[in-house]
């Protein structure tokens, strides 16, 4: 799977039409979730039922009819994605925040403690077309949307060579609204494997805050801390918002400037994680890393901002993607006691977080993170024979964007 992204250029009326299509997508998704919540317990509501419901919405609402039929189905599928994720969380007994939701088959509203209960969206920023509703120009530098929303022909700006792929290989086209403009993504079904020669090297990685990661060879990758470096200007731009009158054009401009700064940081994190992960995987046949639950770790309010700024989970996603692409092995190992256990003799040496040096009675003296990286590598080597190859799903794109592992990377 490959996703190529272009920035689109059009007129103001076309951008307004894109926004209208996005709002229609949001409406269909929310109506699909409402239909599922209000359905009788005996009625089976699945993906196909929601697709049929989207057809009914086209008959009931004229503005829904203006959107392409397959785009309506894709919007209903977004609702089903949220529902199926909720079911998976229930089966795995994943803990989460409580939310007031209607219990299936009952008109009463109760406290439902299961995490991830589908909620209505009010900030949808993309519309997705399948194999119809759009037409590429023969030069493949322009795209025309043929439904009744009035988007029309848009110019594609970017460096990706879309001409090398057949139009039949394009599975979906998505229009995305961001702080700095509108973008088009083309999802292309191709084989992205790029088998690299074996190096005979193996490495263990211990991610951290002081260093982005420390490896089993003793190398410490510097942490760029993109958010910390830009925090002053971000707070300044945020204060400008509250100085403007609500509803004024000045306030809208201030909010747009604030959003652009966060978008820049997001792109910096992504490019850094992608570059580092590619180098690590390309240089080693086996990469062992900790199977961290980052969503639980950010509940520590003292470290939440630093952990989010380090983007550990994003780095892990790119490690798994490049391992799959380069035909290498990436192994996630349990993180328990990797910092406390001596990598030389195996004795547990208790230490606080402020202690940065590992000293053991056997004479082993290492940096705390390097010792942990060696333990991670040892666990990865032990699990290699029984560990299946990483089933990461990724995309080669110029800008890593925010549903499934692919969708988490994209959008």
The full set of domain ranges for the chain reads: 1-192, 202-230+274-393
Q: Which two tokens stand for residue 297?
A: 């770790």
- Take residue 366 and report the two structure tokens written for it: 């290492």
CATH architecture of 202-230+274-393: 2-Layer Sandwich (3.30)
Residues near 270 by beta carbon (within 8 Å), at least 6 away in sequence:
311, 314, 399, 400
pLDDT in tens, 296-342: 898 888 889 999 999 999 999 999 999 999 999 999 999 999 989 99
Q: In this model, does residue 110 exceed pLDDT 70?
A: no
What is residue 391's predicted lDDT score, i.e. its pLDDT?
Answer: 36
CA distances from 285 to 85, 204, 291, 364, 393 (A): 33, 11, 19, 27, 19
Runs of H (alpha helix) within 187-248: 226-242
Write down the pLDDT at residue 115. Answer: 60
Classify the C-alpha dihedral 41-45-49-55 as positive or negative.
positive
> Would the pLDDT of 399 be above 80?
no
What angle, 0 to 180 degrees and rounded to 10, lies between the N-to-C axes of helices 12-38 and 47-60?
Answer: 120
DSSP element (H, E) containing 109: strand 109-112
In whole angstroms, what is the distance from residue 139 CA to residue 143 CA? 10
What value does the mean pLDDT take over residues 83-88?
90
Distance CA 312, CA 178 (A): 24
Q: What is the arithmetic mean of pLDDT over 219-224? A: 95
pLDDT digits (tens, 9 = 90+) for 39-70: 887 888 899 999 999 999 999 999 999 999 99
Pairwise CA distance, residues 283 & 289, whole Å: 15
What pTM value is reported for the model? 0.83
> What are the pLDDT digits (tens) for 69-78?
999 999 999 9
Can you give the pLDDT at residue 397?
A: 31
């Amino acid at each position: 799977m490959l996703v190529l992204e272009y920035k689109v250029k059009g007129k103001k009326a076309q951008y307004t039409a894109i926004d209208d299509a996005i709002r229609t997508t949001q409406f269909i998704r929310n109506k699909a979730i409402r239909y599922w919540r209000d359905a009788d317990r005996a009625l089976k509501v699945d993906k196909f039922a929601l697709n049929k419901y989207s057809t009914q919405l086209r008959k009931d609402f004229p503005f829904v009819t203006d959107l392409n039929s397959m785009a309506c189905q894709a919007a209903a599928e977004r609702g089903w994605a949220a529902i199926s994720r909720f079911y998976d969380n229930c089966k795995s007994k994943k803990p989460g925040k409580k939310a007031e939701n209607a219990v299936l088959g009952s008109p009463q509203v109760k406290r439902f403690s299961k995490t991830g209960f589908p909620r209505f969206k009010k900030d949808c920023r993309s519309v997705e077309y399948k194999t119809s509703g759009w037409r590429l120009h023969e030069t493949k530098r322009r795209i025309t949307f043929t439904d009744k929303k009035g988007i029309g022909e848009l110019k594609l700006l970017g460096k990706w060579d879309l001409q090398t792929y057949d139009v039949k290989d394009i599975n979906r086209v998505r229009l995305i609204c961001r702080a700095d403009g509108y973008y088009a993504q083309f999802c292309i079904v191709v084989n992205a494997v790029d088998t690299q020669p074996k190096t005979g090297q193996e490495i263990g990685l211990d991610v951290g805050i002081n260093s982005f990661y420390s490896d089993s060879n003793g190398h410490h990758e510097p942490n760029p801390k993109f958010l910390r470096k830009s925090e002053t200007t971000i707070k300044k731009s945020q204060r400008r918002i509250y100085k403007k009158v609500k509803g004024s054009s000045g306030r809208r401009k201030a909010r747009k400037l604030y959003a652009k700064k966060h978008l820049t940081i997001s792109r910096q994190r992504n490019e850094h994680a992608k570059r580092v992960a590619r180098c690590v995987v390309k240089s080693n046949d086996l990469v062992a890393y900790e199977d961290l639950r980052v969503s639980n770790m950010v509940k520590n309010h003292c470290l939440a901002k630093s952990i989010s700024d380090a983007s550990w989970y994003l780095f892990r996603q790119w490690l798994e993607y490049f391992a799959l692409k380069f035909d290498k092995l990436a192994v996630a190992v349990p993180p328990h006691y990797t910092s406390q256990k001596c990598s030389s003799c195996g004795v547990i040496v208790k230490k606080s977080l402020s202690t940065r040096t590992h000293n053991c009675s056997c004479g082993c003296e290492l940096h705390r993170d390097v010792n942990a990286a060696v333990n991670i590598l040892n666990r990865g080597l032990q699990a290699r024979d029984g560990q299946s190859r990483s089933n990461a799903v990724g995309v080669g794109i110029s800008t890593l964007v925010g549903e499934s592992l692919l969708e988490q990377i994209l959008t």
